[in-house]
Structure 1
């Protein structure tokens, strides 16, 4: 590794002093890597571009207080990139939730949540026995499909297919019935 401002540490110190050329060199060095990483986290090109830009903006804003744990700024940039991607995902989830019909929106109080959970459990209880048990194990109790398959003596494919079918059935009931 070279010395002076060609090292990541030197570039970060230069960025902290307002050197936009140093930021450009860090960008040239790591933008492709961050872009590939962002594509692994999100599916939309505009989100990828925004996440990468926000990552370098965060470097610009925090360079003065940044302590590099290694000889490279890349691990820090990857963590920042991941955090921006997660924030993008949360924003999109909130937007989708805001667009849901009122009867499908997240409950606003405990009584409403209890009623919704009771209704979902009633719908699961009405499923055929094997499907009901699979839903209880996988969707309510958190077992993996493989664990549920072993417990019930089924193949993982059969469990996957039954969960998918049950989800479609429950979704159909939810979207056609206002509970």
Structure 2
């Protein structure tokens, strides 16, 4: 049974996770949640005295179908950027310009975060935002509000602007690093 579950998980991950008809869950939303999310994220950026972004592996990047276990023993960090004051200002500007239309459909796929944004204030980690560009999902510990649709394109532009890539061949990169 574990083998069947592992094969199914790998097939889903390999198929990609773009929202398509029949694979997303619809919810009713207006722009209020999107506006609130933008305000909360803008506030977090402004309050932060330090913002650190990492590009890293996911446990699903290298997977042994036979054993049903990840081959990534621990997260592989491919790069880390602490934002300069100019990059922080660009991040804030990008977020403040997002279209507030609230996301109203969600992909039914495995969340595979390869980017994490950590917000620090007063030397303490205040919140963490994990981003999966493959399926367009974000898990941010500082909110329960539904994000705007435009968040993903805004974050992708921001990630590229600091020298990372929203999408890569993560499986090949992990295999190369593990060997």
Question: TM-score, normalised to structure 2's length?
Answer: 0.31
More helix by share: 1
Q: Which of the pair has more CA radius of gyration?
A: 1
Question: TM-score, normalised to structure 1's length?
Answer: 0.31
- Greater relative contact order (CA < 8 Å, ≥ 6 in sequence): 2
More strand by share: 2
